[in-house]
Amino acid sequence: MNPENSPQKNLVSRRSLIIGAAAASIAAGNATVRAAPANGPVIVTSWEFGPGANDQGWPILADGGLAIDAVEKAINYVELLPDEFWVGYGGVYNEVGETTLDAMMMWGPTHDVGAVGCLKRVKRAVSVARKVMEETQHTLIVGDDATRFAARMGFQETSLSNETSIKAWEEWQAKNEPSDAWDPEPIGGGEKPDGHDTVGTMVVDVHGNVCVGCSTNGRLHKIPGRVGDSPIAGAGAYCDNDVGAAIATGNGDVMMRFLPTYHTVELMRAGASPEEAARAAIDRILAKGYHFDGGIIALAKDGRHGAAKAGWADENFGYAVRNQAGSEYIPVGANGT
Ligand code: SD4
């Protein structure tokens, strides 16, 4: 349907009103749990593109803007990077050569979530996730129907392949190897699947709103229709406006079985530091015998942050932080931050 003719076009979004009302009540000083953070706003983004992403979101926060806008802007920047293989278009392809995207956004003040899984032919997956959150009562829309939803919201349909992804797919196909997605479960050993660099961004804005988002093209050679951890609240990302936020990156097929970002935020609620909470969430997965690469990054509402990882001895896993004190990239070692 042409979005110009869509029934949504002339409706005022109820969800936008909720977000607007939250912002207005904050501006009026009505919020209790949304007290302004003592050290000003903060934005945290995973991996080495994190500093560039934070630079996109920071001006919004420095200007007194909302966390949700900063999260979207930071993640869009990574989604549209032409050479980033593991997020957005032009990278990871599935068994049949198609790139599909998973993304979510969670808004702390209303605990609302919007997400898309296995989104096809639309580039800015996190912005489509935001539309699911703001324009509908739904939480997750998947597959070709997510593409149809995006078109109704005015997004352009386009190929998610580029020269790099097509060449990589052709080379892999020529080898005639099965995808490692058919291998036995990675318990007690086994090869680790390729996958890293999911973008996750967490923000506390000057009004005390917490927001988190993430976006990925998932796992190389995935079976068509596979949806990973990123669009599942509590798995790929989670936040609670009273506590803070957490994001996950790594083998989502394993990690999503443990809801590690929910676990991390709940441990922070109980008094753990961000690093301790992230470590405990990773250790819970390792304790079941899983052999995986993965990381959790956590941000407390007061601006403290930390992370932990399993595996990734050869990857420069880390995260970027930007606040009033400046910008920093924090590498995550085997023992955390
Ligand atoms: C997935 N968790 O779809 C994602 C991949 C990832 O860093 O995070 N890579 O499994």
- In this predicted structure, the answer to whether residue 1 has a pLDDT above a threshold of 70 is no
- Known catalytic residue at 249: no
Q: Is 197 in the pocket of ligand 1 (CB under 6 A)?
A: yes
User: Which of these is catalytic: 198, 216, 249, 261?
Assistant: 198
Of 102, 122, 111, 94, residue with least CA distance to 18: 111
- State pLDDT tens for residues 123-147: 999 999 999 999 999 999 999 999 9
Ligand 1 atom showing the smallest separation from residue 47 Cα: 7
Atom 10 in ligand 1: residue holding the nearest Cα = 252
Q: What is the mean pLDDT of residues 112-128?
A: 98
Class of domain 35-179+193-331: alpha beta
Atom 5 in ligand 1: residue holding the nearest Cα = 218
- In this predicted structure, the answer to whether residue 9 has a pLDDT above a threshold of 70 is no
pLDDT (0 to 100) of residue 108: 97
pLDDT (0 to 100) of residue 314: 84
Q: What is the mean pLDDT of residues 266-278?
A: 98
- State pLDDT tens for residues 12-64: 454 554 555 555 444 444 433 455 677 789 999 999 999 999 999 999 999 99
**Residues 71 and 212 sit within 8 Å (Cβ to Cβ):** yes
Of 195, 250, 219, 215, residue with least CA distance to 71: 215
Between the CA of 236 and the centroid of ligand 1 the distance, in Å, is 8
pLDDT (0 to 100) of residue 36: 60
Between the CA of 129 and the centroid of ligand 1 the distance, in Å, is 17
Q: Is 230 in the pocket of ligand 1 (CB under 6 A)?
A: yes
pLDDT (0 to 100) of residue 332: 95
Residues in contact with 319: Cβ distance below 8 Å, sequence separation at least 6, in sequence order: 44, 45, 46, 47, 50, 297, 305, 307, 329, 330, 332
pLDDT (0 to 100) of residue 24: 47
Between the CA of 120 and the centroid of ligand 1 the distance, in Å, is 17
- State pLDDT tens for residues 149-198: 999 999 999 999 999 999 999 999 999 999 999 999 999 877 787 767 89
Ligand 1 atom showing the smallest separation from residue 252 Cα: 10
Pairwise CA distance, residues 250 & 10, whole Å: 41
**Residues 229 and 281 sit within 8 Å (Cβ to Cβ):** no
- In this predicted structure, the answer to whether residue 272 has a pLDDT above a threshold of 60 is yes
Q: Mean pLDDT in the chain?
A: 90
Between the CA of 198 and the centroid of ligand 1 the distance, in Å, is 6
DSSP for 39-92, please give it. Answer: T--EEEEESTTHHHHHHHHHHHHHTT--HHHHHHHHHHHHHT-TT-SSSSSSS-
pLDDT (0 to 100) of residue 16: 54
- State pLDDT tens for residues 194-203: 767 899 999 9
pLDDT (0 to 100) of residue 3: 39
pLDDT (0 to 100) of residue 18: 52
pLDDT (0 to 100) of residue 20: 53
pLDDT (0 to 100) of residue 56: 98
